[in-house]
Structure 1
Amino acid sequence: MRTVALAATTLLLGLSAGVFFAYSTSVMLALHHVEDRTFIDVMQNINTAILNGWFLTAYVGAFLLAIATTLLHLGSGHRAPLPWLLAATILYGVAFVVTATVNVPLNNTLDAAGPVAAITDPSAVRAAFEGRWVTWNLVRTVASAGSLLTMAIALLRA
């Protein structure tokens, strides 16, 4: 049971980290070169599209399974993976908290700007969003990748 939980957690962490990595290494780099209204329109559409069962299962499921897997190992006699599990859970917790406290509020503010055609100063809307969002997405990318790595080490030690 513990090994299956470890493997499932590693899979979900990998999927979630991959989303953040893809934004850092392609999506936001490409969007940086488009005009302001296009940038806002695309990001508003992404904010809507990403709220789907597949993403939410990987994103939330990774955190819940990381906690559950850590707890399963706390109660077992086999504690070799425990430090790595704790590290993975804490690192993913960082990504989770950054998402909830920085990236999602920025997304909500961007969405609250309204339909892109009605925005009077798209340059200001973009400026208030892009740099901060990209910076904190990089934090999520590093934290979730670190979580994946430490969870993989825990899996090897199981």
Structure 2
Amino acid sequence: MLAHQGAGQQAGPRSKAAAPLLYLATLTVGLMAGFFFAFAILVMPSLAKVDDRSFVVAMQKINEGVQTGAFAFAFFGAFIFTGAAAIVHQRAGYRAAARWIFAAMLLYVVALALTFGGNIPLNDKLAAAGDPAVIADFAAARAAFNEGTWNALNAARTIACMLSLLALVPAIALHGRANKALKTGIS
């Protein structure tokens, strides 16, 4: 086995899955960062300006509509692909890249924890208000949702996702350098 000092790598069993997993991790984390960012800068500020009934109906429809295969691919894929990329890179000897990918995964786990621990329970409160056709007090339903807390949690998960995405940038560069070193035999 070759030792690669320059890229901070040690050669291990090369994996054809390393690069595709890293690219899928970057894609899905990027999609989630963009999704959360869009809510932070556009969706929620726009909904803040509408009446209570419109807010409740729109958020209920968004929360129902997000339950699609495309969203699940990005939301769960970011965790799965980033975790798999970290493991594969570590096992393949791309240790410097693996450290960055593990950091990206930990940051995405923070976003997941905020989502499952905060945003989803607040969404569930809004769903529990019932069908808009039978809601008697839209102001109470909106207040129970707690927009301020939801927005703060969303801002935190947006930042976590952005940092996760940024951590994948050096991982891609290190992966590329290590691959080049393996192909050329230059360390």
1:143 is aligned to 2:156: no
- Aligned counterpart, 1:128: 144
- Aligned counterpart, 1:78: 94
The residue correspondences of 1:65-104 to structure 2 (distance < 5 A) are: 65-104=81-120
Q: Which is helix-richer, 1 or 2?
A: 1
**Structure 2 unaligned spans of 5+:** 1-16, 176-187
Normalised by the length of structure 1, the TM-score is 0.95
Aligned-pair CA distance for 1:121: 2.4
**Residue 16 of structure 1 is aligned with which of 11, 27, 32?**
32
Q: Which amino acid aligns with 1:135?
A: A
DSSP 3-state at the match of 2:96: coil
Q: Percent identity?
A: 42
The aligned length equals: 158
Q: Which amino acid aligns with 2:100?
A: W
The runs of at least 4 consecutive aligned structure 1 residues that moved more than 3 Å come to: none
Aligned-pair RMSD on alpha carbons? Answer: 1.1
Q: Which amino acid aligns with 1:137?
A: N
User: Matches of 2:78 and 2:130 in 1, distance apart?
Assistant: 32
Aligned-pair CA distance for 1:78: 2.1
User: Matches of 1:147 and 1:6 in 2, distance apart?
Assistant: 12
**Structure 1 unaligned spans of 5+:** none
**Residue 170 of structure 2 is aligned with which of 128, 132, 153?**
153
User: Do the aligned residues in 2 keep the contact of 1:37 with 1:117 (CA within 8 Å)?
Assistant: no
User: Matches of 2:58 and 2:149 in 1, distance apart?
Assistant: 17
User: Matches of 2:139 and 2:110 in 1, distance apart?
Assistant: 30
Q: Which amino acid aligns with 1:138?
A: A
**Greater Rg by CA:** 2
